[in-house]
Amino acid sequence: MIRTRFAPSPTGYIHVGNIRTALFAYLLSRHDEGGSFILRIEDTDQKRFVDGAERAVLETLQWLGLDWDEGPQLSGAEIGDFGPYHQTERREYYQRWAEKLIAAGRAYADPYTPEEIQGFRDEAARNKKAFRYRDHRPNNPPEWNGTQPLRFKSEPKDYSWHDEIMGDSAGGRDAVDDFILIKSDGLPTYNFAHIIDDIEMKITHVIRGQEFIASMPNYLSLYEALGEAPPIYAHMPHILNETGNKKLGKRDGAKSVNEYRAGGYLREAMLNFLASMGWNDGTEQEIFSPTELVEKFTLSRVGRSSARFDEKRLLWLNGQWIKRIELDDLSERAADFWGEMGQKADPDYKKEVLSIVRDRLKTLADLPLLSEYFFSTPKVDWPMIDSDKQLKKLPRADQISLLKSAVEKLSKISLTDWTSENLQGKLNELLSLTDSKPAVLFSLIRFALTWAPFSPSLPETMILLGPDETLARLQSAIVAGK
RNA sequence: GGUCCCAUCGUCUAGUGGUUAGGACAUCAGGUUUUCAUCCUGACAACAGGAGUUCGAUUCUCCUUGGGAUCACCA
């Protein structure tokens, strides 16, 4: 049974680069029937702790639908038999394993002050040599009383291992050092804690960013000292920022997943996009539903090179997903995105509006722009017409007279004949009657009706607006244009 | 700087010891006798460079170059 984990630290928001790692770990566990996805909070860094960060992470995962079988819940409770799932509540485990290492002569108290160690480091730098703590290993370290850092007594040698993504890898003895197991504040370092937890929680596959590859010899060395077998590893290539010159990170403005959520992106699009960076199924399929992702995901098809974060592609995918999901579903998700007037409108009417504007939506955040004119009379905005490249060629007087003929024509349609087919026909008649090009006449009417940059087809718009409102809007355009 | 990783259109990627090197985004041009958007069609566009192995390398090897990561009482 595959058991994977996602282990964020509550030091801030979770950005799109981090979440892809969570996604791949999730997919791997779900692809395996009976697999488990575990969420562990690595909160051992008290200095960088950010209040509320954990909740934000949980909400993000929940929104994306990356449900976990074990770990903390939004309610504050925890589920699973291998808890607790906060590292600060697992001190007894670290203590127990640390004592085991001490007894085996593989861990010792660090007698130096941070200043002294910095001195060693500076000296190494002056001599242009790599700094290694083990070169300064004390001969008779004091007994560990919990106030000094506890260090791993390494036995440097070369390591090679298999990585499910990176292939066969190797690291030399130079990378092995006496790293800190437990800090002077009594809490374990990541290097120690994650290994103990992975052992205790019976994690089978470790999926993480490739920045940890450099530490693999250290980890392997620790597993040996612990007498435990390491899990299967899969180190993922990084996602680079848009210019491709750096690992995507918060400092360079990597957005949080929540920003995309608030920006009107659908979880399906986000997941689809994230998966496409580094993974594909070998076919020419571009759109994958979350279910298909689970069905088709395998580590063997994850690439080794880093990818850039290209928002244009995400935007396209989002448009695709907005068109794909059920109207009722879309309607629920759009609930918070309606504009000022839209949110107060009748739900059924809103759903109708949504059904005709959805094809034009790139994100749900576009909704007000594309829908407010259905809920309230838009402000007449002739400059909009003046800046249209087709319409600006036509004198104002001609524009007005075109609108007048439109009013005349449309006002003859009775309420019962106010149908898509009829409107279409009348508009076409109007076209030959006024001897104008569709691009001119219909654009003009469209603007007069909506004063929006995009809108659904004329008949659709007119039906939703109704005859009275349609004619009234044309009239006010005429009046204001004079 | 030491160590490790990576290298196909601008971007995400497929692919093979012999292919017209495929798809998608973006861009541009047409079309859908109704605009904008959607949609459809088409165009533009790539194997970083140099050696070696080979009858033949984008593919295998080495070097160079470029990019990334890592060298914390952060994860």
**CATH number of the domain bearing residue A109:** 3.40.50.620
State how far the Cα of A72 lies from the Cα of A224, in Å rounded to an integer. 31
Do A130 and A221 belong to one domain?
A: yes
CATH at residue A471: 1.10.10.350
The CA–C1' separation of A362 and B14, in angstroms, is 27
The per-residue pLDDT for A91 is: 95
Kindly state the tokens that stand for A360. Answer: 């034009």
Do A230 and A96 belong to one domain?
A: yes
Q: Does residue A322 fall inside a structural domain? A: no
Residues 6+ apart with CB under 8 A from A324: A268, A287
The per-residue pLDDT for A421 is: 83
What predicted TM-score, i.e. pTM, was given to this entire model?
Answer: 0.93
Q: Does residue A352 fall inside a structural domain? A: no
State which of A252, A284, A308 marks the end of a domain: A308
Do A142 and A216 belong to one domain?
A: yes
The per-residue pLDDT for A479 is: 85
The catalytic site residues of A sit at 250
State how far the Cα of A135 lies from the Cα of A36, in Å rounded to an integer. 42
Do A224 and A104 belong to one domain?
A: yes
Who among residues 402-441 of A has its Cβ near strand B, under 7 Å? 423-424, 427-428, 431, 438-439
The CA–C1' separation of A313 and B11, in angstroms, is 8
From A200, A227, A265, A237, select the one nearest A24 (Cα to Cα).
Answer: A237
The CA–C1' separation of A449 and B28, in angstroms, is 31
What total of structural domains would you count in chain A? 3
Q: Does residue A413 fall inside a structural domain? A: yes
The per-residue pLDDT for A439 is: 83
Do A229 and A94 belong to one domain?
A: yes
Do A199 and A244 belong to one domain?
A: no
Tokens 């020419």 appear where? A284
Tokens 């569709």 appear where? A438
The per-residue pLDDT for A408 is: 86
What's the average pLDDT block by block, 10 residues per block, for chain A (482 residues)? 95 88 97 95 92 93 96 92 94 96 93 87 80 88 90 91 91 90 94 97 96 94 95 94 79 82 96 95 94 95 92 94 94 93 90 91 92 89 79 82 87 84 85 82 89 87 89 87 74
Local structure of residue A159 (DSSP, 8 states): E
State which of A258, A285, A308 marks the end of a domain: A308
From A160, A159, A303, select the one nearest A235 (Cα to Cα).
Answer: A303
Do A192 and A107 belong to one domain?
A: yes
The CA–C1' separation of A4 and B42, in angstroms, is 47
Burial class (CB in 10 A: 0-12, 13-18, 19+), A28: buried
Do A82 and A94 belong to one domain?
A: no
Q: Which residues pair with A182 in a beta bridge?
A: A150, A188
State how far the Cα of A205 lies from the Cα of A4, in Å rounded to an integer. 5
Q: Residue A313 CB closer than 7 angstroms to strand B?
A: yes
Do A148 and A284 belong to one domain?
A: no
Q: Residue A11 CB closer than 7 angstroms to strand B?
A: yes
The boundaries of the domain holding residue A401 are 377-482
Do A108 and A214 belong to one domain?
A: yes
Who among residues 12-51 of A has its Cβ near strand B, under 7 Å? 42, 44-45, 47-48
Backbone phi and psi for residue A65, each to the nearest 5 degrees, phi listed first: 85, 15
State how far the Cα of A375 lies from the Cα of A339, in Å rounded to an integer. 9
- A446: nt with nearest C1' to CA: B35
Q: Does residue A334 fall inside a structural domain? A: no
0.85 surpassed by complex ipTM: yes
The per-residue pLDDT for A228 is: 95
- In which order are the strands placed within the sheet that holds A167-171? A36-39, A3-6, A205-209, A232-236, A159-163, A167-171
Q: List all nucleotides in chain B with at least one atom under 7 A from a protein Cβ.
A: 1-8, 10-15, 22-26, 33-39, 67-75
Q: Torsion-angle region of residue A128: left (phi > 0), alpha (psi -120 to 50) or beta?
A: left
Do A69 and A125 belong to one domain?
A: no
